[in-house]
Amino acid sequence: MLSYLAHYFTTFGPLRLLRYVTLRTLCATGTAALIGFIIGPWLISRLRTLKFGQHYDDDRTGDLATRFDKKNTPTMGGLLIFISVFVSSLLWAAPNVWVIVSLFVFTALTAVGFRDDYLKVIRKSRDGISSKEKILWQTLTTIIAVVILCMHPMSALKIRELWVPFIKHPVIASMPLIALFVLIYFWIVGFSNAINLTDGLDGLAIGCTISVALVYGIMAYAAGRITIAEYLFIGHVPGTDELTVVCGSIIGAGIAFLWYNSHPAEVFMGDTGSLALGGLIGIIAFMVQQPLTLVIVGGVFVWEAVSVIIQVGYFKYTKRSTGEGKRYFLMAPIHHHFQRKGWPETKVVLRFWVISLICAIAGLGTLKLR
C-alpha cells in the first residue's frame, strides 16, 4: 500500500525509495516485529484471562514434561503471527496476484486453525474440528487459490510450469490443471501438518520457519528480477519479488513470536499458527517456481513428518507380522526421540535450528548448481 507513495517522489524526493523492494522488505520485517512486540503482552494476557490454554493431558509428551507447567500455557499464539504478517504485508507490499493469493491462503488457514484450537479449548480435549471438515476447508482454499492463479494474466502461464532443482528449464512447461491442483494441495496440507508436528518444543517450529522464510525471500526476489533469473538459469516470474516483502514480514513476526515462545514458553502458536505458516510457505514455494526445493530448505519439517510416518508404519507392520506392535523410534515426532535419549529440551531445539540453517543454505545453493 505504501509503495504507491513512490508516485509522489516529485513532491517529496525521498519517497522514490519506496520503489525498491529491498527497502520495503526491511521495513516490513521491522514493522512485523514491532507489531508483534507491541501486541504480544496484551494478547498473551487476554488468552490467559480467557483460559485459552491446553487444559488436557498430552500423551505425546508423557513423562517428558518439565517442572515448568505447559498444561496451562496459552495457545492460539498464531494470532500474533497472523496480525503482524498480514498488516505488515498490506502496508509494504505492492499488491499483485502473487501477494493477494498468498495472503488469502494465509488468512483462510489461520481461520481453520483458530476454529480447531478454539474447539479443543472449549471441549478441553484433543478433539477439534473433524478431519473431514479440515480437509474440506483446505481443499476449498486450494481450489480458490488455483482458480485465481490460473485466470489472472500475470500468473496463468507461469504457475503451470514445473521446475525442479539442478535443471535449467522447466521439466513440464504446462501442467494439466488437475495435476497443478493436486501438487499445490499436497504442498499446502503437507507442510501445514509438518510444521504442526514440529511445534512440540518451545521455539522449535518458529525458529526453523524463520530460516525457511529467509531463503524463500531470496528466491522470490531472484525469480522476480529478470537479470538475476537469467544469470542463475531459474524461471523468471514477474511480480514475485513482492513476495520478498511477505517473507520479510514472516521473519519479523517470527522473531517477535520467538521472544514469547522461547523456553519456557509464554504462549504456543497452536494450529492457528502452524497450519497457516505451512500453507503460506507451501504456496509461496510454488509461486516462485521452487516447490521441490522446499523439501531441502524445510528439511527439518520433512524429517519430523517422515519420522511419524515411519513410526506408524513400522508399528502397524510389526503388529501384523508378530502380533505385537513395536516402535522404530523411542517416540515420534523425532524431536521427542532425542528427549527420550536424555537431551534437554533447549539442546534439542538449538541443534534442530542448526540443522535447519544447514538445510536452508543447501537449498539456497541449488540456485547456482544447474
- The ranges assigned to domains in the chain are 23-294
Cis status, amide bond into 95, omega within 30 of 0: no
pLDDT, tens digit, for every residue of 70-100?
Answer: 667 888 899 999 999 999 999 999 999 999 9
Q: Count CA atoms closer than 13 A to 148's CA, side-chain side.
A: 18
Give dist(CA 85, CA 93) in Å, integer.
Answer: 11
φ and ψ at residue 65, rounded to 5 degrees: -60, 135
pLDDT at residue 370 in the model: 77
Contact 222, 232 (CB under 8 A): yes
Contacts (Cβ under 8 Å, ≥6 apart) of 351 = 338, 343
Which pLDDT score, from 0 to 100, does residue 72 have?
74
Ramachandran region, residue 239 (left: φ > 0; alpha: ψ -120 to 50; beta: rest): left
Sign of CA dihedral 223, 272, 65, 48: positive
Rounded distance, CA 54 to CA 155, Å? 42
Candidates 96, 91, 98, 106; CA nearest to 27 is 91
For the chain, list residues with pLDDT below 70.
3-4, 6-10, 54-71
Q: What is the pLDDT, as a whole number, of residue 71?
A: 65
pLDDT number for residue 254? 96
Q: What are phi and psi of 193, to 5 degrees?
A: -70, -35
Instruction: Give the per-residue pLDDT at 127.
Output: 75
Instruction: For cell 500500500, name the residue.
Output: 1
